[in-house]
Amino acid sequence: MTRTRSLKKLLFVYQTSFLLLVIITGAIGGLWAYFWQQTSHESVRINALLIEAQLVRGDLYRQLKEITRSGAGGDPNALDQYWHRLYLIDKHFYALQQHAKTAAETRAIESMQQSYNLMQAEMNQFLASPVNEAARIKLLDPAYDRMMLGDFEDAFLEFSKLIAQQRRALEQTIEYWTRLAPILIPAPILLAAALLFFSHRSFRRGFLAPMAEVVSGAKRISEGRLDHRIPTSGVEEVTVLARSINDMASELAASRDALVESEKQAALGALVPVVAHNIRNPLACIRATAQVMDDAEDLRESRQEIIDTVDRLERWIKSLLSYLHPLKPHKTRTTLAAVAEGALAPLKPKLEAKRLSIRRSAWQPDQALYADTDLLEQAIHGLVNNAAEASPPGAQIGLGIESSADEITLIIDDQGPGMPMNPDPKGLAPVPSTKRFGTGLGIPFAFKVSQAHGGRIVFEPAPGGGTRVRLSLPMQASIETESV
């Protein structure tokens, strides 16, 4: 049987699993989007740094050209262009500082700005001095431009190398995530497929298959197969449902058997009195005829056998009629020992014929009891007669009386082979008899008498072998009757 758990918990596990799948998928998608956003932003920032640095370098060259043109006197607007370039370069340096993110970038920008500031101071000094022939020659010399730009070019080169390194690192990061893409993208799909497979399998084994068994079993039970039992497997709710249907089938089977038995008893109760009436008349004629037969020696034994047989048939019919009709005990004060002795008297010839002896133990002849003497005597007679029939010749039949504050018990032990079946006090139908002339009514009649007195009968193995019968009657009923 599989381990059971409630359907609510099973659905909670499925919902939690799918929620976790959604979270994982969303996390992977969000991480991927965040990565591309960050790499795109970083790429734009690096490109912006490089562009601004190149603009600084380009405006610086143009600024030098404007100084040259101004010193040579060839362009009266050169000085205005010089100061405009100065404004643009300061603007580019400010943009570089805004785009800078790492300490290395800040240092590289500061290094370029310091080199530019030195150049700017020297260019401003040149503009403030009177222009002569030597100054013009110096401005027109290409070596002067290289000397002015030397420190700045070195700082610009270092900055360019730094930007190139960052760009390569960014490209490596993009390449790494690109290699992970074939793994990360199918992962949620594979996880969803696995979760769907296992959840469907678990749901089918825990609910669908057991529920199908319940439906199939309920259909079989509805067709009248009340002995069919539905397997109690799957989730807790299905297990409870299957167990309830099985219990219902058992109760229906018991009710059906009780109804059938009741119908049989009713039919038997209606039939037996008619049969008994039709049998009694011929039996009376046969007995009367046997009584008036000649008392010849050769006929005496046959006559007595006919009379004994007729009397036995009469007793059987009387027992059968008594068994079928409700018993109404008429209780009187007596003792259990006296009733038992009265039941033993008719059995004396049988006991002597089989050389059976009665062993009385814990006999309490004075223990008072209120009971219907005739019914109780007939019930004990049947039980002792069964013990005599079961015991081998020369054996002992044990009789004992036990009493307590609640009940008094008659114990009958035989030395027979034991009961072939355990009589059911709820089933009062005649039991199978193994005796040649048995009616099968002795034990059911004893059950009926004990129940009419509020007692019980228990069959169990005797200590020395054979069967022990315990006929227990309540003492409370005796006290109440006596007080009345």
Which pLDDT belongs to residue 145? 58
Which pLDDT belongs to residue 432? 44
User: 354 is written with which tokens?
Assistant: 């089989």
First vs last C-alpha separation in the chain? 60
Q: What is the mean pLDDT of residues 464-475?
A: 88
- CATH code for the part of the protein at 326-483: 3.30.565.10
437 pLDDT exceeds 50? Answer: no
19 pLDDT exceeds 90? Answer: no
pTM of the model: 0.40
Amino acid at 307: I
Residue with tokens 């298959």: 209
Give the DSSP letter string of 137-188. Answer: HHHH-HHHHHHHHHHHHHHHHHHHHHHHHHHHHHHHHHHHHHHHHHHHTHHH
Q: Is the torsion defined by CA of 191, 197, 202, 203 positive or negative?
A: positive
pLDDT band of residue 266 (cuts 50, 70, 90) is: low
Q: How far apart are CA 2 and CA 242, in angstroms?
A: 14
Domain ranges in the chain are 7-184, 326-483
Which pLDDT belongs to residue 481? 43
Q: What is the mean pLDDT of residues 12-39?
A: 80
In the DSSP assignment, the letter for residue 208 is: I
Average confidence score pLDDT of the chain: 77
Which pLDDT belongs to residue 2? 44
412 pLDDT exceeds 90? Answer: yes
Give the DSSP letter string of 80-98. Answer: HHHHHHHHHHHHHHHHHHH
User: 50 is written with which tokens?
Assistant: 């490089």
Q: How far apart are CA 431 and CA 155, in angstroms?
A: 120
Judge whether 483 and 370 are in contact, CB under 8 Å. Answer: no
State what percent of residues in the chain have pLDDT above 70.
Answer: 72
Q: Do domains 7-184 and 326-483 have the same CATH topology?
A: no
Which pLDDT belongs to residue 449? 86
Which pLDDT belongs to residue 80? 80
Q: What is the mean pLDDT of residues 400-404?
A: 88
pLDDT band of residue 209 (cuts 50, 70, 90) is: confident
Which pLDDT belongs to residue 441? 66
Which pLDDT belongs to residue 470? 92
Q: What is the mean pLDDT of residues 333-354?
A: 87
Among 32-46, 260-274, 342-356, 403-417, the least confident range: 260-274
CATH architecture of the domain formed by 7-184: Up-down Bundle (1.20)
Distances (CA, A) of 167 to 37, 45, 55, 174: 16, 10, 19, 10
The larger pLDDT score, comparing residue 265 to residue 319, is at: 265
Number of helices and strands in the chain (H, E):
14, 7
Radius of gyration of the chain from its Cα atoms, rounded to whole angstroms:
59
The helix/strand/coil state of 3 is coil
Q: How far apart are CA 307 and CA 147, in angstroms?
A: 161
380 pLDDT exceeds 50? Answer: yes
Task: Give the tens place of pLDDT for each residue, 51-63.
Answer: 999 998 888 888 7
